[in-house]
Amino acid sequence: MDQFNIEEEIDEIAGGEFEQTPVPKKNWKSWKSFLGMYAGEHAAGTEFMIGPLFLTAGVSAFDLIVGLLIGNFLAVLSWRFLTAEIAVTYRYTLYYQLEKICGKKLVVGYNLANGILFCFLAGAMITVSATAIGVPLEIEMPKLTDTRPNSLTWVIIVILVGTVISVIAGKGYDTVSKAANWMSPIIVIAFVACGIVALGQLEVKNFADFWNIWGEGGEPFPGQVKYTFWHVVLWSWLCNAAMHLGMSDLSVFRFAKKPSSGWTTAAGMYVGHYMAWIAAALLYAVYLKSPEAQAFLDNNEAPPVAPGPLAYNAIGVFGIIAVVLAGWTTANPTIYRAGLAFQAIVPKLSTFWVTLIAGSVATIAGIFPAFAMKLLSFVALYGFILAPFGAIIVFEHFFARKFGIQSFYAEKTKAPFNISVLMAWGISFGIFYTISMYFDIFLSFVTLPAWICCGLLYLFLSKALQKKH
């Protein structure tokens, strides 16, 4: 116990994030801490992008409204019964727990990929905030097809936004959580207000009018993929696959008193991924009736999706403020997670400095609007790459004893490299990515099969390859 207490004190001096030790009981947090964070993170910047992007994909009313109900519920169940359950059992970050299973050398590659992908996602949210700040400056907004910045002013705005977000994320989980608790009610009110104003602008007088905004669906916009009911269900479930099935949120729920804190993710799913996506889609539906949008469509081009102007057109300056904060509350915890990933590679650097490095990468990514404009496809890819590593943790936790394999094998054998993990991930990734590309199957359709395949392969390969100790 004395050794553990010494390590605990060192961890607290280093920043209090307990990257290499279980979170001690005195630092456990009630469900209220997670409620604000998840409501803030998921009623946030991505929602301003995703709602409109569903419209560009030609979804029908039934596909969207019912599909989102089911998909978001599956996501909540994944957080509650997988992520939170395992998090409170061990109370490790994802990166430290993987190190115990995979070995230090293998987990370095994972942490690098994980951190970079998180940075790209945070960069998309910095882009979202920048579209709001660009409204009063009257800068040209990025188009759906844009990949590079279109002006020096845009670059400067993104750098300023990214710097502020990165410094706050670098202050640690407590600061991230407090910022989310303060901002999330403002953002939620803004989404509700945007939705109500947009319904008035669309002259919706009853539920039938509301339903007919999407109706039976239609052809996707130029360059976009057609979404069906199953696209919506699986995408809304698996858009956060890296966080729940992929176990990234072990790093968050390790602070929870009980696994039941996992239910707080419902605030993010139904306030954010349901209400906010639909409200944002309504804003875009209003814009599509404008002469400017019709001119794009007449030229066989997709009208731009710029959250700042969409919210400003509905609720004025409050809309600009809401979009800035919305991008902020998603980028903040995402950069925090990326910082933890990088710190697992360079543990001697403080959490603050590695988070600033992550924020710098995110800011550079935010300069390029491609990550935001292709968010549906990017998030599907990111979940597909990272989620199967979570299957390693899940299958080991629930089935290691039944299969007669050693848990935390790399730690107990001092092995720097667990070949069973690499083979399980590589084979499952190779098989299902090839299927997706060869048969032109949307990646979200093969994410769950890849996850299950990876977990099963890990068990069988470990049984065959683990040495007896």
Per-residue pLDDT of 246-263, as tens digits, reads 998 888 899 888 899 999
Residue indicated by tokens 């007449």: 298
13 C-beta neighbours (distance < 10 Å), count: 9
How far apart are alpha carbons 351 and 365 in whole angstroms?
21
Task: Using alpha carbons only, give the angle 243, 320, 362 rounded to the nearest 5 degrees.
Answer: 40
Asked whether residue 422 is assigned to any structural domain, the reply reads no
Q: Within 215-369, where are the H helices?
A: 229-238, 250-253, 265-266, 277-288, 291-298, 307-315, 317-345, 351-367
DSSP 60: -
* Residues ≥6 apart with Cβ < 8 Å to 54: 64, 227, 232, 277, 281
270 C-beta neighbours (distance < 10 Å), count: 19
113-122, 144-153, 253-262: range with lowest mean pLDDT: 144-153
Q: What is the mean pLDDT of residues 167-196?
A: 74
Highest average pLDDT, of 12-16, 66-70, 193-197, 250-254, comes from: 66-70
Could you tell me the pLDDT band of residue 5, with boundaries at 50, 70 and 90? very low
Which residues sit opposite 256 in a β-bridge? 29
Q: How many residues does the chain have?
A: 469
Do the beta carbons of residue 277 and residue 68 sit within 8 Å? Answer: yes
Residue indicated by tokens 């490299």: 417
6-15, 60-69, 71-80, 265-274: range with lowest mean pLDDT: 6-15
Could you tell me the pLDDT band of residue 14, with boundaries at 50, 70 and 90? very low
Type of residue at 14: A
Nearest CA among 184, 194, 183 for reference residue 271: 184
Type of residue at 454: C
Distance of CA 5 to the CA centre of its chain: 34
Give the model's pLDDT for residue 23. 77
1 C-beta neighbours (distance < 10 Å), count: 5
What is the CATH classification number for the domain harbouring 254? Answer: 1.10.4160.10
Asked whether residue 368 is assigned to any structural domain, the reply reads yes
* Residues ≥6 apart with Cβ < 8 Å to 252: 34, 37, 87, 173, 333, 337
Highest average pLDDT, of 128-137, 217-226, 400-409, 425-434, comes from: 425-434
Q: What is the mean pLDDT of residues 339-354?
A: 76
Residue indicated by tokens 């007896």: 468
How far apart are alpha carbons 341 and 351 in whole angstroms?
10
Sign, Cα dihedral of 223, 361, 312, 265: positive
Asked whether residue 433 is assigned to any structural domain, the reply reads no
How far apart are alpha carbons 51 and 47 in whole angstroms?
6
Longest pairwise C-alpha distance within the chain: 73
Asked whether residue 448 is assigned to any structural domain, the reply reads no
Give the model's pLDDT for residue 137. 76
How far apart are alpha carbons 412 and 408 in whole angstroms?
6
Asked whether residue 122 is assigned to any structural domain, the reply reads yes
DSSP 22: P
161 C-beta neighbours (distance < 10 Å), count: 24
Written in H, E and C, the secondary structure of 197-212 is HHHHHCCCCCHHHHHC
Q: Provide the number of structural domains found in the chain.
A: 1
Asked whether residue 441 is assigned to any structural domain, the reply reads no
What kind and span of H or E run contains 413? helix 409-413
193 C-beta neighbours (distance < 10 Å), count: 18
Do the beta carbons of residue 284 and residue 144 sit within 8 Å? Answer: no
Asked whether residue 452 is assigned to any structural domain, the reply reads no
Q: What is the DSSP string of 134-170?
A: HHHHTPPPPPTT--S---HHHHHHHHHHHHHHHHHHT
Percentage with pLDDT > 70 across the chain:
90
Do the beta carbons of residue 52 and residue 310 sit within 8 Å? Answer: yes
How far apart are alpha carbons 443 and 436 in whole angstroms?
6
Domain that holds residue 330: 29-374
Asked whether residue 379 is assigned to any structural domain, the reply reads no
Could you tell me the pLDDT band of residue 181, with boundaries at 50, 70 and 90? low
Phi first, then psi: what are they for 223, rounded to 5°? 85, 0
Entry pTM: 0.82
